[in-house]
A = this chain, B = another copy of it.
């Protein structure tokens, strides 16, 4: 054990040597990478532009809204371009990179009005689909599912604009906040409602239609990984299922496979495990699960040692 006299010199030396030996887990060498805090702040500002008046600025009205929006857009463009420029633009000069980053930042901001159209459909779907919702504003204000979907839509646009890494940072931030894991690569139509949401996983090559509804714990995942002849995973192929319009997937259902298509207007019941396609207008449920139900006295529970899960 290190004596106090040699602390921290010996340990510093050991750590720095480790950085040299295992450089893949370090970011040294003057490469500035995106700041997670800056991205989080940018996301909050983007959400403010999508849903004005709910959080920071609550005294917005038709008189002051124009100034507030213009000011925020102006500032956001610069901050977003700065973060984008940090992810690297291979093959471009610094000046080209700077231009490209500014272009991409502007590209996302210009999509905001169109995203509001889609998000209104998402909010309405939540309100109409949940007996516990009292108003659309409550959905915007309180619903973690709506928050996760809004962040996903922003991340998806950024991905389409060719920005790497940052879309994933955005959805992982939302994942940490809501327990909902939506990969930015998924394609999801308007009117998308995730209720409760904890544990939902939507894979990056999912295709989801309009007015689709998911409950907590639903996985839309992959079925095996194709590997090349060297045993390395092949990246990029469609691995995740397609859900057509008006599909409902109840809690804890698992749907897998890049070729699995759930036909429109189908209902996938709770805890179903599905790896095959189903026709439109299908109802898919587990066989009524066989339960063993026994009456038992109190003493019997004390000695019972099977099947208690903790």
Q: Using a CB-CB cutoff of 8 Å, which residues 1-50 of chain A contact chain B?
A: 1-2, 7-9, 11-12, 14-19, 22, 24-33, 35-36, 49-50
CA A93 to CA B86, docked complex, whole Å: 53
Of B74, B177, B221, B227, which contacts A8 at CB under 8 A?
Answer: B74
Is the C-beta of A201 less than 8 angstroms from some C-beta in chain B?
yes
CA A69 to CA B209, docked complex, whole Å: 50
Is the C-beta of A265 less than 8 angstroms from some C-beta in chain B?
yes
A52 B27 Cβ-Cβ under 8 A: yes
A310 B225 Cβ-Cβ under 8 A: yes
B270 A309 Cβ-Cβ under 8 A: yes
A252 B250 Cβ-Cβ under 8 A: no
Is the C-beta of A128 less than 8 angstroms from some C-beta in chain B?
yes
CA A123 to CA B199, docked complex, whole Å: 23
1/0 contact trace for A274-305 toward B, CB 8 Å?
11001101111111111111111110011011
CA A66 to CA B36, docked complex, whole Å: 24
Is the C-beta of A70 less than 8 angstroms from some C-beta in chain B?
yes
- Note all chain B residues with C-beta closer than 8 A to A297: 281
Copies of this chain, complex-wide, total 3
1/0 contact trace for A61-72 toward B, CB 8 Å?
110011001100
Name the CB-closest residue of B to A63.
B30
Closest Cβ–Cβ distance, residue A231 to chain B (whole Å): 7
B138 A73 Cβ-Cβ under 8 A: no
Name the CB-closest residue of B to A30.
B61
Name the CB-closest residue of B to A76.
B8
A8 B73 Cβ-Cβ under 8 A: yes
Of B33, B130, B215, which contacts A309 at CB under 8 A?
Answer: B215
New A-B pairs, 15, CB < 8 Å, besides A1-B107, A24-B137, A283-B301: A2-B110, A12-B69, A22-B116, A27-B58, A28-B53, A31-B53, A33-B58, A35-B58, A195-B310, A198-B201, A215-B309, A221-B310, A227-B302, A283-B296, A287-B290
Leading 10 A-B pairs by shortest Cβ distance = A270-B309, A27-B53, A222-B310, A8-B73, A24-B136, A287-B290, A250-B309, A224-B308, A12-B70, A22-B120
